[in-house]
Amino acid sequence: MGLDFPALLADLAWETDRLTETLAALTEAHWEQPTPAAGWAVRDQVSHLAYFDDCAALALADPARFELDAARLVAHGDNFPDLVAADSRGLPVAELFDWFGTARRHLLAAFAEQDPRRRLPWFGPPMSVASSATARLMETWAHGRDIYDTIGATQPLGRGLRSVCHLGVSTFGFSHALRGLEVPQAPVRVELTAPDTDATWSWGPDDATDRITGPAEDFALVVTQRRHPLDTALTITGPVARSWATIAQAFAGAPGPGRPPTEGRS
C-alpha cells in the first residue's frame, strides 16, 4: 500500500481533536490524577506530547539545532522524558492545555509543507517526515490511552489505528536491536481485525509459522507497551512471535519497561 500523506495528517488531526475535546472537559483535579505510567499524572502525559511536538517541529525547521538540543537532553540519561515532565509540573492547567494545542497546530501545518520522504534527525534513528508524522500519531494514541484509562473513558478508535499497528510491525528489528538482541530471521505473520468492521490488516508472509492474530486495538496496546500481551485477546504462536510480543516497542528512546500483566496472569 502506497503512502497517502494527506490522509496520514488527517488521521493525526482526528486523534488530536478527540484528545483535545476530552482534555477540555476535564477538571483541574483530573489533570493531577496519576495515570498507569508510573509517576506521571494526566498533566505529564500532555506536557510530554507538547514538548516532543515542539522537538519534531524543530527537527523540521533546523535539524542542526535539534541535534544539539537533543544531545544535551539525552546526556542527562535514559530518564530524560521524566525530567521533561518534571520541568513542566509548575505550569497552570490552562497554559499546559494551550501549549499542547498550539504546538500540535504548528506541527501539523509544518508537516503539510514537507516532502514526506525527507530525512530528519530524532532521538532514535533518523526517520522520514512521514515516519515522524506516524510517530506523533502513535504517541498521541498511546499517551491518550493512558489519559482515557485514568478517567475511565473509552478511547475513540479512528483510521489512524492502522498506522499505529504498522509502526509496531515496522519496529520489529528496532525492538530487538535496542536491547542488544540478534534480530530473528524467521518472519512473523500479523493478522489484525480492524475495529467496527470485518476488514483484516495483515503484514508478513502468509505461510509464516510465527503468527500474531487478534484485535488491532490489542496489538496497538502491546506495541506501545500499554498492555501486557497476556491482558489482550491476541493469539500469539511461535517462539519468535512470543518473544517479540514481550519487547515490542513502537517508540524511540531507551527500552521501555512495559506494563506487568494483571495479577494472576503471569
Contact criterion met (CB below 8 Å) for 240 and 218? no
Percentage of the chain lying above the pLDDT 70 cut: 98
Q: What is the distance between the alpha carbons of residues 204 and 89, in angstroms, rounded to a whole number?
A: 43
Please check the confidence at residue 266 and state whether its pLDDT lies above 80: no
Is residue 1 scored above 70 in pLDDT?
no
d(CA 241, CA 224): 16
CB 28 within 8 A of CB 81: no
For residues 159 and 253, which has the higher predicted lDDT (pLDDT)?
159
Burial profile 104-120: b = 16 or more Cβ within 10 angstroms, e = fewer: bebbbebbeebebeeeb
pLDDT digits (tens, 9 = 90+) for 187-228: 999 999 999 877 999 999 999 999 999 999 999 999 999 999
- In the chain, the percentage of residues whose pLDDT exceeds 90 is 90
Q: Which long-range contacts (CB under 8 A, 24 or more apart) does 111-114 make?
A: 111/9, 111/12, 111/60, 112/6, 112/9, 114/60
Domains and CATH numbers, the chain: 5-156 (1.20.120.450), 164-247 (no CATH)
> What's the farthest any 2 CA atoms get from each other in the chain?
54
Distance CA 118, CA 139 (A): 21
Range of lowest pLDDT (116-120, 255-259, 262-266): 262-266
State the pTM of this model: 0.95
C-alpha dist (Å) from residue 54 to 70, 252, 266: 12, 16, 39
Contact, 234 vs 219, CB < 8 A? yes
pLDDT at 263 over 80: no
> What digits encode the pLDDT tens for the residues 16-73?
999 999 999 999 999 999 999 999 999 999 999 999 999 999 999 999 999 999 999 9
State how far the Cα of 125 lies from the Cα of 22, in Å rounded to an integer.
32
Flag whether pLDDT at 264 surpasses 60: no
pLDDT at 200: 94
Lowest mean pLDDT among 21-35, 102-116, 245-259: 245-259
Alpha helices in the chain (DSSP H): 5-24, 28-31, 42-61, 63-74, 80-87, 93-112, 129-151, 160-170, 172-178, 216-223, 239-247
DSSP for 14-30, written as a single string: HHHHHHHHHHHT--HHH
By the 8 A CB rule, do 34 and 136 touch? Answer: no
* Beta-bridge partner residues of 214: 192
- Confidence at residue 131, expressed as pLDDT on a 0 to 100 scale: 96
Q: What is the dihedral of CA 25, 27, 31, 33, to 10 degrees?
A: -120
pLDDT of residue 265: 57
For 54-78, give the secondary structure using H, E and C. Answer: HHHHHHHHCHHHHHHHHHHHHCCCC
